[in-house]
Structure 1
Amino acid sequence: MNKKLAKYIPALQWLSSYNQKDFRGDLVAGLTTAVMLIPQGMAYAMLAGLPPIIGLYASTVPLIVYALFGTSRQLAVGPVAMVSLLTAAGVGAIAQGGTEAYIMYAILLALMVGVMQFGMGLARMGMLTNLLSHPVLAGFTSAAALIIGFSQLKHILGLDLERSNHIHQILMQAFAQIGDTQIYALIIGVISVALLVVLKKYKPMWPRALAVVVLGTLTVWGFGLHEQGVAIVGDVPAGLPSFAMPEISWDAMGELFPIALTIALVSFMESIAVAKKVAQRHGYEIDSNQELIGLGAANIFGSMFGSYTVTGGFSRTAVNDQAGAKTGMAAIITAVVIGLTLMFLTGMFYYLPKSVLAAIIMTAVFGLIDVKEAKHLWKVNRSELALMGITFVATLSVGIEEGILVGVGASMLWFLYRTTKPHVAVMGRLPDTTVYRNVERYPEVETVDGLLTVRIDSQFYYGNVTFLKDTLRNLEKQMNKPLRAVILDGAGINQLDSSAETALHHIVEEYQERGIGFYFAAPKGPVRDIMKRASLWKALGEDHITYTVHEAVENAVEDYIDGEPVRRTGAERVQRAAKDEDLESSPFAEPVKSPA
């Protein structure tokens, strides 16, 4: 095997050692996933505002391309609910649903997403997905799940509701037309939902989507319900998708660019999350950048064969894995089965009621509402819960694209806020040790009168220079004895930019002019390098730069503290404060509180 070629075509790695045992597992998994994907693909295409046949086209060529270029051996690529909703939101803004222009723009969107993902993969830009933090993604997907679910009311109720991404508008339309509900469509939809839920709970490995498709189709055909007003799929063109380059429209591309970028990032996040989880269980590594290339290639080639945007799906990947998939051959088998269906079995979908496809969509998105994550964040980090809530509310109230942009913007602002106001701790020594800890968390620590030991837990850059200056000034005001020396514990500082270096230099000079010592303890290698290249190292002097906080304390006591330093534990200081003793005349240092 050519290792260099295998780097760009990962399928060569598993093909070189492929055996009969692998094929047996892949065959069962490929057939099982195909049975699941056929109804899902049609349903998700309908969610995207596209004819069901486009969902089947999206389940052929893209699967084969990803199997060759992707690094996950179990990931089941194809249409998914989230991407379908985003497609509808983006394309629906520039074209009327159901028209040729709408289909053309949806295919063009797939090409744009593919080019973006492929380009990001080549540029090794997988880290861009870090812009979408997990709380933001959870808030977005939870809101999108509600929008997706309510968008299917038109098919469940058999009503002609205008497409909208706002739940309140959908509900208002539904209530206004509730008297025109198609009762047979409603019954079929409700029973389909109930069957899907029950089968998922008691028979999780059954092809439940296919089961309700078969039952719904037979019911409509047997009782002639399509003549009673039940909406059906109707004619589904037979035959494999033909090759055709997407029609390029620069004006449309300009309008679709924001949604294309959103889909490129969101779909990759959804795909890489499940791919890494499955790969970890099977003991192999996932290359994030190659995954971008694989998904990008799948969308690029798929758009040339009538496909809309695809990505890896959670539920199908789980089924593919549980059914025994060993390699990407399982995906190729799935594509072949769907190809055969396109050639010979499309006539079977004529009587398929749209309310069944709507039921499949609604039950599939139930799992996207991430209540567990909200509960987890409530216990662990409520600021991130706020980010999740902001994204959730923005997506529901403002819109799909705007909601995720609000979430990303809010998370970036929160990150900037945290770095401009980092955690700062005043340090004291644990008794009979050389270990220094936060005086607020360890009341037993000892401090030295006139000595201020501070730790900043962040990179030190231009954004928090003023904060450090103000913090040092405020801490000095809280001291009960005149300040004689300051120790900055650099263990938590992992970066020092030019503005911060200049600011520190000024701080050092100001303290020196006042006769106050300044020590820099435990600076990390990169920080030491910057200090040496700049003038800060020389301004401090090597005797004021130490490897440990304890060494700095001993030097400061010897150089700046008169006589034997008096120590006192935090607990003793609390007791004296409770007795309202005169701390001004006390020889003991009052603990200085660090910012929250």
Structure 2
Amino acid sequence: MTQFFLPFLAWFGLINRHTLKADFFAGLTGAVVVLPQGVAFAAIAGLPPEYGLYTAMITPIIAGLFGSSLHLVSGPTTAISLVVFSTISRYAEPGTEPFIQMVLTLTLLAGIYQLAFGLMRLGMLVNFVSHTVVIGFTAGAAILIATSQMKYVTGIPIPKGESFLHTWMDVGRDLAATNFHVLAVALFTMLSALMLKRYLPKLPHLLFGMVMGSLASIALGGTTHGLTYVGEITGQLPPFSIPDFSLGSLKQLASGAFAVALLGLIEAVSIARSIATKSQQRLDGNQEFVGQGLSNIVGSFFSSYAGSGSFTRSGINYSAGAQTPLSAVFAAVLLALIVLLVAPLAAYLPVAAMGGVIMLVAYNLIDFHHIKHILHSSKAETSILATTFFATLFMELEFAIYMGVMLSLMIFLMRTSMPNIVDLAPDPNEPRHKLAEVNDHALQECPQLKLVRVDMSIYFGSLDKVQRELACIVEKQHIKHVLILGESINFIDLAGAEMLVQEAKRLKSLGGGLYLQGAKNKVYDFMDRIDFMDDFGNGNIFSSKEAAITSITKRLDHTICATCDKRIFRECAGLPGAALVR
């Protein structure tokens, strides 16, 4: 219990001179990387640039100390920033005091949701969100982010609050109004960043792009040609802030905060697991929920908006040799020192250069490799990808997230409701006539006894599939004895048990029987509690395949056995007519 509330005690013992050095330099790298990202993400969220930096100072410290991952770095992210903007912009003008106040309240609510999920041990819920949904949503969010920057990189006057379609209609209609000085600065920023990333990938390419964009704007004459600037950032540590606790605001933002909380948890846990596969670390999903929740709750009182795990910064943190979450703490502290020194220089940063950097960030969000793989491998996954992608573009972002979660649950339910039912038979090529799949080995089957393996649980969602398969065996194959091999059945619920009893009685009335062998102990324990054995028949449940086949073959119609030429079971040798079979 102590480790749950004070998880940093588990890794404090790992700290030594070597880890401190590694974490310091990893933190320094992270601080340099997050400087331009924090400013860019704040712009996406509709906030003054310093709020992205405040978030990058507070969130990673709390999330690092109270999460479970050794390498996850939290802070402002593109997708969360976009959802924050989408949620609050309908109630207040971006960048204004009321907007900022509502963002802080949204952050607090999202943190409370996340903390509650963690305390309720609901960390496994993230497993039900399909990776395809996350890819589709992220790709859609990237397009929206790029769209929102068109007015900044082209200079075309586009009214605030325009939808995705209306923005592109405005761009097409007013293309002649493009300010080529603005466009040149944006393109030069992107080109500079891309060139540095290609030839010197270890250096902070986004920061380099911003510097080159600033120099380009000076060379082109700056404000005399319509270029605008971000303005001087307040060079101070995150100031204390108080979210709005009024009942009206809480009710107004509750739904949007839930979407932010859900997306933040999906991002953080997915990234943490991705890195954990490389570092061989075991993660605690519930602890990650607690860490993310506390980071947003605390952050809302220190001028920070909602954050989550960052794939870019977490990956860089791991690659830079970080050993413990102290690297995230070092990154936050070093960022604070850097901000105090370089904040005034933001007055020379053109908005066009910032737009160019955000365009690059948006492009990097699109996972082209996995999208291509999905399009070529599965029609079902492609439909899910397309649905989530277009919902993100044309609907409210919160609704797109909920739709993605619902689609994920539907996929899960569809897959579990259609268990794979495999026909089995003894393989004569095996020394002990081991059971094998009929279709894979072209095996002969007994005309009176059907052996099937159910590869999934028998519960209320899968009853229809199991019943249809049993009906097909009886009606089309005219087999009345069915043995279910249950080693692959994870559980049977009450509805499943009642269905098996019903089918057993139906087959018995036809002169046959339904039998069960090899179920797991927890399945048998459940059956004992509901008196399943009595209704199903104790003589129809077996502990071994040999015992099951030996017992059932004695119940078959031996007049049919006398003329049968299959004789696939070793037990057939003792039945009438065996001598007639060659």
For 2:383, give the aligned amino acid.
A
Among candidates 355, 358, 363, match of residue 361 of structure 1: 358
Aligned partner of 1:348 in structure 2 is 345
My pick for the range that moved more, 558-567 or 152-161, is: 558-567
CA contact (8 A) 1:451 1:484 kept: yes
Aligned partner of 1:311 in structure 2 is 308
Aligned partner of 1:45 in structure 2 is 42
The TM-score, its normalising length taken from structure 2, stands at: 0.90
CA contact (8 A) 1:71 1:290 kept: yes
Following superposition of structure 1 onto structure 2, how do residues 48-67 of structure 1 map, counting pairs within 5 Å? 48-67=45-64
Q: Does 1:291 align with 2:293?
A: no
Provide the secondary structure at the position in 1 that maps to 2:282: coil
CA contact (8 A) 1:53 1:237 kept: yes
Aligned partner of 2:574 in structure 1 is none
Give CA deviations for 1:236-273 in whole Å, capped at 9, x if unaligned: 22322221221223333323223322222222222223
Q: Does 1:23 align with 2:20?
A: yes
Aligned partner of 1:471 in structure 2 is 469
Aligned partner of 1:456 in structure 2 is 454
Give CA deviations for 1:542-570 in whole Å, capped at 9, x if unaligned: 33212344543332222123154635499
Q: Does 1:440 align with 2:439?
A: yes
Provide the secondary structure at the position in 2 that maps to 1:233: coil
Give CA deviations for 1:156-202 in whole Å, capped at 9, x if unaligned: 11233245685332211111222222221110111111222222222
My pick for the range that moved more, 300-309 or 332-341, is: 332-341
Provide the secondary structure at the position in 1 that maps to 2:235: coil
Following superposition of structure 1 onto structure 2, how do residues 285-434 of structure 1 map, counting pairs within 5 Å? 285-378=282-375, 381-432=378-429, 433-434=432-433
For 1:493, give the aligned amino acid.
I
Provide the secondary structure at the position in 1 that maps to 2:72: coil
TM superposition shift of 1:517: 2.6
Q: Does 1:215 align with 2:224?
A: no
Change (3 A) 1:556 1:20: closer
Aligned partner of 1:578 in structure 2 is none
CA contact (8 A) 1:484 1:516 kept: yes
Which structure 1 segments of 5+ residues have no match? 571-586, 589-596
Following superposition of structure 1 onto structure 2, how do residues 49-128 of structure 1 map, counting pairs within 5 Å? 49-128=46-125
Among candidates 168, 193, 200, match of residue 190 of structure 2: 193
For 2:225, give the aligned amino acid.
Q
CA contact (8 A) 1:521 1:547 kept: yes
Change (3 A) 1:522 1:364: same
Give CA deviations for 1:110-144 in whole Å, capped at 9, x if unaligned: 11111111222222221121231211111111221
For 1:205, give the aligned amino acid.
K
Aligned partner of 2:558 in structure 1 is 562
For 2:96, give the aligned amino acid.
T
The 1-side partners of 2:318 and 2:470 are apart by: 57
The 2-side partners of 1:556 and 1:256 are apart by: 64
The 2-side partners of 1:71 and 1:534 are apart by: 40
CA contact (8 A) 2:515 2:541 kept: yes
For 2:469, give the aligned amino acid.
T
Provide the secondary structure at the position in 2 that maps to 1:453: strand
TM superposition shift of 1:61: 2.1
Among candidates 520, 523, 546, match of residue 519 of structure 2: 523
Aligned partner of 1:140 in structure 2 is 137
The 1-side partners of 2:465 and 2:284 are apart by: 40
For 1:437, give the aligned amino acid.
A
Change (3 A) 1:279 1:544: closer
> Identity of paired residues, percent?
30
Give CA deviations for 1:314-338 in whole Å, capped at 9, x if unaligned: 1112222333333333322322233
For 2:169, give the aligned amino acid.
M
Aligned partner of 1:594 in structure 2 is none
The TM-score, its normalising length taken from structure 1, stands at: 0.88
Provide the secondary structure at the position in 2 that maps to 1:402: helix
CA contact (8 A) 1:151 1:164 kept: no
Give CA deviations for 1:316-367 in whole Å, capped at 9, x if unaligned: 1222233333333332232223323443432111020112122222212323
The 1-side partners of 2:567 and 2:198 are apart by: 59
Aligned partner of 1:591 in structure 2 is none
The 2-side partners of 1:367 and 1:165 are apart by: 24
Change (3 A) 1:200 1:484: same
The 1-side partners of 2:45 and 2:299 are apart by: 16
The 1-side partners of 2:481 and 2:161 are apart by: 65
CA contact (8 A) 1:235 1:347 kept: yes
For 1:527, give the aligned amino acid.
V
TM superposition shift of 1:44: 0.6
The 2-side partners of 1:24 and 1:311 are apart by: 26
Change (3 A) 1:495 1:15: closer
TM superposition shift of 1:48: 0.7
Q: Does 1:487 align with 2:486?
A: no
TM superposition shift of 1:490: 2.1
TM superposition shift of 1:207: 1.3
CA contact (8 A) 1:205 1:319 kept: no
Aligned partner of 2:168 in structure 1 is 171
Change (3 A) 1:261 1:20: same
CA contact (8 A) 1:166 1:399 kept: no
Change (3 A) 1:438 1:45: same
Aligned partner of 2:506 in structure 1 is 510
Aligned partner of 1:32 in structure 2 is 29
CA contact (8 A) 1:243 1:305 kept: yes
For 2:452, give the aligned amino acid.
V
Provide the secondary structure at the position in 1 that maps to 2:454: strand
Provide the secondary structure at the position in 2 that maps to 1:58: helix
Provide the secondary structure at the position in 2 that maps to 1:72: coil
Aligned partner of 2:238 in structure 1 is 241
Among candidates 249, 271, 274, match of residue 271 of structure 2: 274
CA contact (8 A) 1:484 1:561 kept: no
CA contact (8 A) 2:193 2:205 kept: yes
The 1-side partners of 2:451 and 2:59 are apart by: 60
CA contact (8 A) 1:226 1:351 kept: no
CA contact (8 A) 2:480 2:507 kept: no
The 2-side partners of 1:489 and 1:77 are apart by: 48
TM superposition shift of 1:306: 0.8
The 2-side partners of 1:527 and 1:173 are apart by: 63
The 1-side partners of 2:421 and 2:332 are apart by: 57
TM superposition shift of 1:76: 2.3
TM superposition shift of 1:74: 2.8
RMSD across aligned positions (CA): 2.6
TM superposition shift of 1:402: 1.9
Change (3 A) 1:508 1:198: same
CA contact (8 A) 2:181 2:220 kept: no
Change (3 A) 1:252 1:30: same
Change (3 A) 1:229 1:27: same
User: Number of aligned pairs?
Assistant: 566
Aligned partner of 1:576 in structure 2 is none
My pick for the range that moved more, 324-333 or 13-22, is: 13-22
Q: Does 1:543 align with 2:539?
A: yes
CA contact (8 A) 2:517 2:548 kept: yes
My pick for the range that moved more, 398-407 or 137-146, is: 398-407
The 2-side partners of 1:141 and 1:562 are apart by: 64
Change (3 A) 1:406 1:66: closer
TM superposition shift of 1:381: 4.5
TM superposition shift of 1:85: 0.8
Change (3 A) 1:466 1:344: closer
